[in-house]
Amino acid sequence: MSSEEMTPEEAAKMLPAGAALGWGLVKPPQRGPKREMSIDQIVAKAIEIADQDGLAAVSMNRIASALGFTAMSLYRYIPSKDDLLILMQDAVCDIPLPPERPRHEWRESMREYVLGSVAIFRRHPWYGDMPILGIPITPNHLRMVEWGLQPLRDMPLDDFEKMSIVLLLSGYARNYGMLQRDIDRAVQAGSSEEEFSGINYSAALRTLVKPEPYPNLYPIVMSGVYSGENEAENTVGDDLEFGLERMLDGIEQFLNRKISGGANR
Amino acid sequence: MSSEEMTPEEAAKMLPAGAALGWGLVKPPQRGPKREMSIDQIVAKAIEIADQDGLAAVSMNRIASALGFTAMSLYRYIPSKDDLLILMQDAVCDIPLPPERPRHEWRESMREYVLGSVAIFRRHPWYGDMPILGIPITPNHLRMVEWGLQPLRDMPLDDFEKMSIVLLLSGYARNYGMLQRDIDRAVQAGSSEEEFSGINYSAALRTLVKPEPYPNLYPIVMSGVYSGENEAENTVGDDLEFGLERMLDGIEQFLNRKISGGANR
DNA sequence: TAAAAGTGTTTATCATATAAACAGTATATC
DNA sequence: GATATACTGTTTATATGATAAACACTTTTA
């Protein structure tokens, strides 16, 4: 409601420290000894550790040690671990947007957006483990939202509808990204030897899932489809693509109804 | 591949302890002193604490203290905290399925399923904070999958297609449930006094999001739609419903194509 | 009537985040 | 140029977590 101006410095105070850092709103100190590290360096190392050993392995100690310093030294750069996590999240969203396409290729644009989002989850398996604290507020993360909005630019949609669609697609990307990550993990684990012992629960499920309280699930467990065994015979091909095309179809239908002017209920 | 029989006892060994407990595959001990607690009691208390103070507040100590025991006593019932989390997750999925509807009301059935799933996230805000470890393998959680499959029973779909659709809908429910939870949290926080200070970042975003790298996002931030300010004027009404109807439209179109026998590409 | 299995407790260990105090260093102002 | 100031990275300490090990006591089984 208030439309007063606001300086970036004031804005910084209203954001979590991690977000303020991400926006470059915290000026590096002028006096004192020269810094031996940098925020970027710390974040990069944290991401490296998370990529390799998971989010749980990211401790202040581990990061600092890997850089040759003590845990406490990190607090001279980043006020808390939560802020570090915000910075990590934002950092992996720093990917270049593809060139804009003509309006009629909006479906392909959206596919690009969703696939681009999913790629983050695959590249950084821990990304999906990060708690969602709220709407995106960091620069690169917001650029992902910008990406999602781009294909909708010249569509006959108001702001609410555009956001709803981006929400739908980004949510889908998140879901699918996490699924994909789980599959990657299972493949990694399975390729060793425990494929049949611990990770793969299908044998146990076949014993436990009875037609009794699970009439619809039962045949799917028995056929091995539930636990993703015979992927070779998968008629759907790619779950990502299947769901995505369904959603794009639904969106297209909504657009058509809007354009032809009918009530959209 | 192997289609040998398997006893429930053998199945139990292949599952995480929490899942085995959930299936009732761990027989209570025969000898020794009478137990003063029960697994159900522990899980119920853990859920109570999580509902009230969030998942982070759930510590073995806190649960045990609330029950009048020491932290270590819990380990006589549940082997690890991870297993407790599995049990919590399964417990809140213990909701009765609604009566089955005739085939032609499949859209309404799916709405019920999605809304039912979303309700779990609202009732138990911590539910969305639980890491997804893999496909559902606990009894109540699997009953939710069963619920999602139910409307598809007599549809001309193979197992892969059915699972893809349930995956799509359950993912959507999860996403929307977490969004709804975030809104609930913001409302709770905002109703006190910090509505304008910390939680609400819209003022800061208006300063930081420039037309420059954010041409499409910029107007949406400026109009206040991005941060969900003027919900009163929201044309979409309910984000949940909007996205859900788009998805159902997409699914319906897929079904129609399938029925009319055409190639679905 | 043991022996065995299991109870809840106490004590101890090992991470973890981070506060506080410290000795040294670069800059800004006089 | 001197010195106060704002830093630096480190050391030390605290608090909070999960959980292992050893304990004394209690039921049931043989």
- Closest chain A residue to the Cα of B254, Cα to Cα: A246
CA-to-CA distance for B69 and B139, rounded, in angstroms?
29
Max alpha carbon distance in chain B (Å)? Answer: 73
Give the nearest nucleotide to A75, CA to C1': C18
Higher pLDDT, A199 or B214: B214
CATH fold for domain B103-200+235-259: Tetracycline Repressor; domain 2 (1.10.357)
What are the counts of helices (DSSP H) followed by strands (DSSP E) for chain A?
A: 11, 0
Q: Phi/psi class of residue A91: alpha, beta or left (left: φ > 0; alpha: ψ in -120 to 50)?
A: alpha
Q: Is B74 exposed, middle or buried (0-12, 13-18, 19+ CB in 10 A)?
A: buried
Nearest to B2 by CA among A102, A229, A157, A71: A229
Task: Identify the residue among A246, A248, A251 best suited for mutation to test binding to B, counting B beta carbons within 10 A and taking the highest.
Answer: A246
Q: Quick check: pTM over 0.75? A: yes
Per-residue pLDDT of chain A (265 residues; tens, 9 = 90+): 444 668 888 888 889 999 999 999 999 999 999 999 999 999 999 999 999 999 999 999 999 999 999 999 999 999 999 999 999 999 999 999 999 999 999 999 999 999 999 999 999 999 999 988 888 999 999 999 999 999 999 999 999 999 999 999 999 999 888 888 877 776 666 554 344 433 478 889 999 999 999 999 999 999 988 987 776 677 666 778 899 999 999 999 999 999 887 554 4
Judge: B175–A176 Cβ closer than 8 Å, yes or no.
Answer: no
Higher pLDDT, B200 or B166: B166
Report percent pLDDT > 90 for chain B: 71
Q: Does residue A2 approach strand C to less than 7 Å at its CB?
A: no
C-alpha distance from B235 to closest chain A C-alpha (Å): 6
State residue A82's pLDDT score.
97
State residue A145's pLDDT score.
98
Q: Is A87 exposed, middle or buried (0-12, 13-18, 19+ CB in 10 A)?
A: buried
C-alpha distance from A29 to closest chain B C-alpha (Å): 22
* pLDDT tens-digit readout, B10-26: 888 889 999 999 999 99
DSSP result, chain B: -------HHHHHHHS-HHHHHHTT-SPPPSSSSPPSS-HHHHHHHHHHHHHHH-GGG--HHHHHHHHTS-GGGGGGT-S-HHHHHHHHHHHHT--PPPPP--GGGHHHHHHHHHHHHHHHHHH-GGGGGSPP-SS--SHHHHHHHHHHHGGGTTSS--HHHHHHHHHHHHHHHHHHHHHHHHHHHHHHHHTTTGGGTTS--HHHHHHH--TTT-TTHHHHHHTTTTTT--GGG-SS--HHHHHHHHHHHHHHHHHHHHHTT----
Task: Identify the residue among B160, B238, B240 best suited for mutation to test binding to A, counting A beta carbons within 10 A and taking the highest.
Answer: B160
Q: Which residue is nearest to nucleotide C24 (CA to C1')?
A: A33
Residue spans per domain, chain B: 14-92, 103-200+235-259
Q: Does residue B69 approach strand C to less than 7 Å at its CB?
A: yes
Please say whether the beta carbons of A253 and B253 come within 8 A: yes
State residue A77's pLDDT score.
98
List of chain B residues whose C-beta atoms are within 8 Å of the C-beta of residue A113: none
Q: Which of B11, B160, B208 is nearest residue A234 as measured by Cβ atoms?
A: B160
Judge whether B14-92 and B103-200+235-259 match in fold.
no
Instruction: With cut-offs at 50, 70 and 90, classify the pLDDT of residue B131.
Output: confident
Give the nearest nucleotide to B79, CA to C1': D19
Tell me, in Å, how far CA of A69 is from C1' of C10? 38
Q: Which two tokens stand for residue B214?
A: 């954010």
Q: Does residue A161 approach strand C to less than 7 Å at its CB?
A: no
Note whether A96 contacts B: Cβ–Cβ < 8 A. no
Higher pLDDT, B176 or B47: B47
State residue B236's pLDDT score.
60
State residue A195's pLDDT score.
45
Please say whether the beta carbons of B138 and B23 come within 8 A: yes
Residue A250 DSSP one-character state: H
Nearest to B172 by CA among B98, B117, B226: B117
Tell me, in Å, how far CA of A232 is from C1' of C13? 49
CA dihedral sign, ordered B93, A243, A124, A230: positive
The residue assigned the tokens 């979590």 is: A16
Res B163 pLDDT > 50:
yes
Note whether A157 contacts B: Cβ–Cβ < 8 A. no
Q: Taking the CB of residue B187, how many other CB atoms lie within 10 A of it?
A: 11
Instruction: With cut-offs at 50, 70 and 90, classify the pLDDT of residue B90.
Output: very high
Judge: A159–B219 Cβ closer than 8 Å, yes or no.
Answer: yes
CATH code 1.20.1730.10 for B14-92: no
C-alpha distance from A63 to closest chain B C-alpha (Å): 23
Please say whether the beta carbons of B254 and A254 come within 8 A: no
State residue A108's pLDDT score.
98
Q: Which of A23, A178, A226 is nearest residue B132 as measured by Cβ atoms?
A: A178
- Residue A105 neighbours by CB under 8 Å, 6+ apart: none
User: How large is the average pLDDT for residues B94-105?
Assistant: 97
Judge: A213–B143 Cβ closer than 8 Å, yes or no.
Answer: yes
Instruction: With cut-offs at 50, 70 and 90, classify the pLDDT of residue B237.
Output: low
Res B246 pLDDT > 60:
yes
State residue A236's pLDDT score.
61
Mean pLDDT of chain B: 89
CA-to-CA distance for A184 and A252, rounded, in angstroms?
32
* pLDDT tens-digit readout, B36-85: 999 999 999 999 999 999 999 999 999 999 999 999 999 999 999 999 99
Higher pLDDT, B132 or B38: B38
Q: b or e along A160-196 (b: 16 or more beta carbons within 10 Å of the residue's beta carbon)?
A: bbbbbbbbbbbbbbbbbbbbbbbeeebeeeeeeeeee
Q: What is the CATH number of domain A15-92?
A: 1.10.10.60
Rg (CA), chain A: 23
Please say whether the beta carbons of B237 and A159 come within 8 A: no
C-alpha distance from A192 to closest chain B C-alpha (Å): 17
